[in-house]
Amino acid sequence: MAESAGPTDEEVLVVGVALFVRARDLREDPPGPDETLAQIGVGANSLDLAIRDWINDRFRAPPKRKLMSGDLEPSMTWAAFVLKALG
């Protein structure tokens, strides 16, 4: 029996961000690449504090630079967010 490879990093991002979005179930209706974080319901405070800290802990191990306050903005598209978070 073959083992599952597990979720992709982007799928993990969707689930993590979904914890902070109330008006939409991102697991059932994932963000489109051109949707902004604000359009999917991500607030500036959650983005710059809890979500940024979680991304730093989960995805930004050295030698990657930790994301700083202001690196993530509600006006960025989901595609830009994924690149910034995982890059």
- Tell which wins on pLDDT, 3 or 54: 54
Is residue 51 classed as helix, strand or coil in its secondary structure?
A: helix
Q: How many angstroms separate the CA atoms of 14 and 52, rounded?
A: 14
Q: Six-digit token pair at 71?
A: 């690196």
Beta-ladder partners of 36: 77
- Other beta carbons within 10 Å of 43: 16
pLDDT tens digits for range 3-51: 678 999 999 999 999 999 999 999 999 999 999 999 999 999 999 999 9
Number of Cβ within 10 Å of residue 35's Cβ equals 14
Q: Model pTM?
A: 0.91
pLDDT over 70 (residue 2): no
How far is the C-alpha of 51 from the C-alpha of 5, rounded, in Å? 25
